Amino acid sequence: MKDVRDYDLTANNTFGIKARCRRFIEFDTVDGLRNVSALLTDADRPLLVLGGGSNLLLTKDYAGTVLHSAIHGISVDETADGGWVEVRAGSGETWDEFVELCVSNGWYGAENLSLIPGDVGASAVQNIGAYGVEAKDIIHKVEAVDVSTGNVVTFAAEECGYGYRQSRFKNEWKGRYVITYVTYRLSKTFVPRLDYGNIRAELERRDIVVPTAEQVRRVIIDMRQAKLPDYTKEGNAGSFFMNPVVTREKYEEIVAEYGAGCVPHYATDNGHEKIPAGWLIEKCGWKGRSLGRAGVHSRQALVLVNRGGATGNDILALCEAVRSDVKARFGIEMNPEVNIV
């Protein structure tokens, strides 16, 4: 276990923001986390559970304790159901390495979530999603420790309150439960999900008619790398904003201005329409622009970047400027996907 006072968090957030925390504790076992919970006092709070730091914007030094999982290990139960497999992964496992392992072993369902940065634990907090798939689609159960009592608890996916980039771990359970393991229910039969984004078109461009899971994963990785910046070279947290869901009337209002077929959208279950935040930002003229040392990525307007030496408040100022312009132009409220601390 690592326990450090006045810890530098610069390397623990993909924006590369310089910030410190009063105390940093890294644990690698469930018992280690339980011991930590027993030792924490009011002086150690508030608590921040930090994974890979890929969905975080630090705007100041953190006055409390950061908890970081280094719990590793992957086990599999192939007897759960004839056509399914349950894969249990430690919360400290790297998400994309987990996806790669699943695809290579013929456990399907996670391939569309390839190359999303962060750890396994974060997938269950944030309900990560991409290309028509969300973590909630494959999560079976979540194990955690209640840091107020040290008790080990297990939640079925249905208890976690999953929604679009939301969960109870992110909201009312924040700071109370620390995830230790996540079990995913994956199929032994590959059923590709190709209708979101440009997956199908890219497969056709490569003359792939009936793709394997490996080919779908490769296409998604290539598409993400083509449009998203490498955080080791240009600090960022991936998609900064959630794609807003609007009424059908609001969508048709925008179509009336831009023309049928010119407004990207995805129908939701409740009859509303999801419009890509990146499209809205680009239409407001922000793509590629900077505000001081913070900028909007030149290839994907959904991504805010650290041009070099930006503070968390620099990024936040850009976020608010973009939100304000989208609100003024379209009458649509955009909300950050990134956790702002």
| 165 given a catalytic annotation | yes
Pairwise CA distance, residues 20 & 40, whole Å: 19
Pairwise CA distance, residues 58 & 63, whole Å: 12
Q: pLDDT at position 61, please?
A: 98
Q: pLDDT at position 30, please?
A: 98
Please identify which of the residues 23, 34, 165, 218 carries the catalytic annotation.
165
- Alpha helices for the chain (secondary structure H): 30-39, 95-104, 120-126, 199-205, 213-227, 248-258, 277-283, 312-330
Q: pLDDT at position 81, please?
A: 72
Q: pLDDT at position 269, please?
A: 81
Q: pLDDT below 70 — which residues of the chain?
A: 80
Please identify which of the residues 37, 69, 123, 239 carries the catalytic annotation.
239
Q: Give per-residue pLDDT as tens, 40-64.
A: 999 999 999 999 999 999 999 999 9
Pairwise CA distance, residues 43 & 134, whole Å: 37
Q: pLDDT at position 80, please?
A: 65
| 167 given a catalytic annotation | no
Q: pLDDT at position 78, please?
A: 80
Please, what sign has the CA dihedral across residues 37, 340, 276, 212?
negative
